[in-house]
Chain A
Amino acid sequence: MVPHAVEMRGVTKRFPGVLACDSVDFELRQGEVHALLGENGAGKSTLMNILTGLYRPDSGLILVDNTPLSFRSPRDAIRAGIGMVHQHFMLVPSQTATENILLGLGEPRFWMRLRQYNQAIAELGEQYGLMVDPRAKIWQLSVGEQQRVEILKMLYRGAKVLILDEPTAVLAPQEIEELFKTVRTMAQGGKSVVFISHKLDEVLSIADRITVLRKGKATASGLATRESSKAELARLMVGREVLFHLEKKHRAPGEVVLAVEGVDALNDKGLPALRDVSLTVRSGEIVGLAGVAGNGQSELAEVITGLRRLTRGRVRVHGEVMVQDRETRGDDTLVRRMIDSGVAHVPEDRTHVGSAPNLSVTDNLIMKGYRDPPVSHGWSIDSSVARSQAESLRSSYDIMTPSVETPVRLLSGGNLQRVILAREIGTRPKLLVAMQPARGLDVGAIEGVRRLLLEQREEGAAILLVSEELEELMELSDRMYVINGGQMMGEVRQADAATIGLMMTGTRLADLPASVGKGP
Chain B
Amino acid sequence: MTTVEASTERRWRWPIEIRLEPRLTQPAWLGFVVSLGAVALALVLGGIVLKLVGGDPLRAYRFMLMASFGNLGVISDTITKATPLILVGLACALAFRMRLWNIGAEGQFFAGAFGASAVVLTPLLAPETSGVWLIPAMMLAGFLAGAVWGFLPGFLKARFNVNEIISTLMMNYIAVAWNNFFIFAVWTEGGFQMSRVFPRTAWLPRLADYAKAIPEFRGLTAHLGLVIGLLAAVVVWWVLYRSKWGYEIRLIGDNPKAARYAGVNIVRNTVLVMMLSGGLAGLAGMSEISGVVHRLQGAISPGYGFTGIIVAWLAKLNPLAVIPVSVLFGALILAGREIQPSGLPKMIQGIVLVCLIASELMIRNRLRVTFRPVRS
Contact = CB atoms under 8 A, between A and B. Distances in A.
A–B direct contact (CB < 8 Å): yes
Interface of A: 9-10, 16-17, 56-57, 59-62, 68-72, 76, 305-307, 330, 332-333, 335-336, 338-339, 345, 347, 349, 352-359, 363, 366-368, 370-371, 376, 379-381, 383, 402, 410
B213 interface: no
Contacts of B343: none
A298 to B, nearest CB: 13
B363 interface: no
A363 B247 contact: yes
A17 B24 contact: yes
23 contacts: A9-B1, A16-B24, A59-B2, A60-B1, A61-B1, A62-B3, A70-B5, A70-B6, A71-B6, A307-B261, A332-B267, A336-B265, A354-B258, A354-B261, A355-B258, A356-B250, A356-B254, A357-B254, A359-B250, A367-B251, A368-B262, A376-B244, A379-B245
- Nearest 10 interchain pairs by C-beta: A336-B263, A356-B254, A335-B263, A70-B3, A332-B265, A356-B255, A367-B262, A68-B4, A339-B263, A353-B257
B275 to A, nearest CB: 17
A383 B268 CA distance: 25
Contact of A380 (B2, B242, B258, B260): B242
What's the dominant secondary structure at chain A's contact region? Answer: loop
Contact of A353 (B21, B159, B261): B261
Interface in B1-47: 1-6, 21-22, 24-25
A383 B242 contact: yes
Contacts of A330: 159, 267
Interface of B: 1-6, 21-22, 24-25, 159, 238, 242-245, 247, 250-251, 254-255, 257-263, 265-268
Contacts of B5: 70
B117 to A, nearest CB: 33
B4 A381 contact: no
A334 to B, nearest CB: 9
A381 B243 contact: yes
A16 B19 CA distance: 12
Nearest to A347: B261
A332 B3 contact: no
Given A332-B266, A356-B255, A70 B4 contact: yes
A379 B243 contact: yes
B251 A379 contact: no
Contacts of B255: 352-353, 355-357
A356 B1 contact: no
Contacts of A332: 260, 265-268
Given A61-B1, A376-B244, A359 B263 contact: no
Contact of B247 (A335, A368, A370): A370
B235 to A, nearest CB: 12
Given A61-B1, A376-B244, 17 more contacts: A16-B24, A60-B1, A70-B5, A307-B260, A332-B265, A335-B263, A339-B262, A347-B261, A354-B261, A356-B258, A357-B255, A359-B254, A368-B262, A368-B263, A383-B242, A402-B25, A410-B24
Nearest to A355: B258
A381 B247 contact: yes
Nearest to B255: A356
B351 to A, nearest CB: 27
Contacts of B263: 306, 333, 335-336, 338-339, 368
Contacts of B257: 349, 352-353
Given A57-B3, A69-B6, A352-B255, A379 B267 contact: no
B261 A335 contact: yes
A336 B2 CA distance: 57
Contacts of B159: 330
A10 B1 contact: yes
Contacts of B258: 352-356, 367
B6 A76 contact: yes
A330 B134 CA distance: 40
Given A379-B245, A380-B243, A60 B265 contact: no
B23 to A, nearest CB: 8
